[in-house]
Structure 1
Amino acid sequence: MLDDGTGGDGATPSRAPFDGAAADARARSRELRLQLSATRARLSRLRRAGLDQRGRPDTAVDVFKQVQEQLLAAREQIVHLETALTSNRRIGIAIGIVMARNQLTDEAAFELLREQSQLRNQKLRELAEEVIYTGML
């Protein structure tokens, strides 16, 4: 008998591995946005003051540059996390399509997608988009 990926009770397949990863990415993105906000506020205070706590302008400039670099790094990381979250969702949709068409478990469907991605030398997210739009692997 084929495993339908429903846990044996005929209910909908478990999405826990995918929802957990997406929830983690959303939480990390929220955390980075808060850090970004705090860094922006700190940067603004430094710009207004133009000095460090001891009144030395050289240190303020160094700190300003350091905070600016951190801000840029945080922005970049947020973009990467948001891209990963979107890709994760699209790959999950493709897994569902492969599961339904081939009567596979979610693990087997993901493995099939991964293998095809490697055989075709194509990124998994690109292959997932192809599966979503054509319904075929």
Structure 2
Amino acid sequence: MEGYFTEEISLSDHVVKVDREKTIELYQKLPGIAESSHCGCADCQLYVKQIGQASANVLAFFQQFGIDPTKEAEVWRAISNENGFDTYTADYHFVGNIQGADELEWIQIGEASFGLVNYKCGMSSLVIPSAFSKPIVEMAVRITMPHN
């Protein structure tokens, strides 16, 4: 498996190996969350609008793994427009592997928390695009953004 990964990222005293270029290539072929071919519901459309306004630190966290935050994710609006903010939970995937652990506890980056886990289930999951192949890391995000 050595040489397969293009990047090594240090998080929570662990190394996450990432094939960033492969992940970017896979995401380029996927529909956007707001598109009807993915979901396209009002909540997904609002999430895409809001995630584009996330802080630079949050967007950079996605980008270091090759993830386009407007694509692929399974999104849930957990708290709707409370005090002018919406809270979402979303699951993304990237080609990679957490070294020395199966999962990483929640990492706070700006207005978001990220949790990472080595995906060990079968690849027939409806939430993972068929173009992805193992090894895969599933990245969960909890984020609160202004309702706009």
Class of the TM-score when normalised by the shorter of the 2 chains:
under 0.3
Which structure has the greater CA radius of gyration? 1
Higher helix share: 1
TM-score normalised by L of structure 2:
0.22
